[in-house]
Amino acid sequence: MQMDESAGKAEAILPVLLGAIVLTQIVYVAKSALKIEIASAAIWSVEALLFLAIAVIGLVAALQKSRLLACTCIAIAGMVNVLQVGMGLTMFGPLFDAGEPLIPVYESVVAMAFFLFFSGKLLFGCAAIVVGMDLRRSGGAVRLVGLTAIAAGLVAMLVNFGGMAVGMDWLYPAGATGTIATVLLAVALHLQARPAMQIAG
């Protein structure tokens, strides 16, 4: 019983962490588009911490058998994203500064980091589908959120799979569809966790 309560509380925290990740990505896009003076490393460091938390909390939430697939996808997405953010923080700068002889290595590392980026978005899309499938059994607005999450998750999975196959040419559509799926996943998880939290309370 105590383990189930811990898993339920962990599931209730996940939407907050996912929402925070979406906010950091919006900040990063705004910084790039509007030329705002914010160090990329600062944003990436916050993201690394959030993704670590998502990985750990996702694993705890996966202790609920009914949430196993969705929360495992979320946890693995967190781990994958920690790796891709870590590559950006620790490898991009030194390889770029090394000059022309290491440009092929730099480009390969960037390509791998974005492969992981696409993989993480694909997994968030998968989780959105799984949680949406559960919510579609409900009625009214909750059912609508579930169906929307399924649609967004499916699109995110397909587009990010394309990104994994093709590479950086798919960066913007893959990032956009993955972010939309993550937002809907956060909303769907919140709706899914509410009854469990009410029972626990």
Task: Specify the pLDDT at position 64.
Answer: 79
- Are 192 and 135 spatial neighbours (Cβ–Cβ below 8 Å)? yes
What span, in angstroms and rounded, lies between the C-alpha atoms of 8 and 167?
37
User: Integer distance in angstroms from the first to the last C-alpha of the chain?
Assistant: 13
- Are 44 and 21 spatial neighbours (Cβ–Cβ below 8 Å)? no
- Are 8 and 196 spatial neighbours (Cβ–Cβ below 8 Å)? yes
Each residue's pLDDT tens digit, 29-44? 898 888 888 888 999 9
The DSSP call for residue 91 is: I
Domain count, the chain: 1
pTM across the whole model: 0.91
Each residue's pLDDT tens digit, 82-132? 999 999 999 999 999 998 889 999 999 999 999 999 999 999 999 999 999
**Percent of the chain with pLDDT strictly greater than 70:** 94
Average pLDDT over residues 156-179: 95
Helix (H, G, I), strand (E, B) or coil at 63: coil
**Percent of the chain with pLDDT strictly greater than 90:** 74
Residue 129 neighbours by CB under 8 Å, 6+ apart: 149, 150, 153, 154, 157
What span, in angstroms and rounded, lies between the C-alpha atoms of 33 and 198?
42
Range of the domain at 100: 2-200
What span, in angstroms and rounded, lies between the C-alpha atoms of 178 and 134?
20
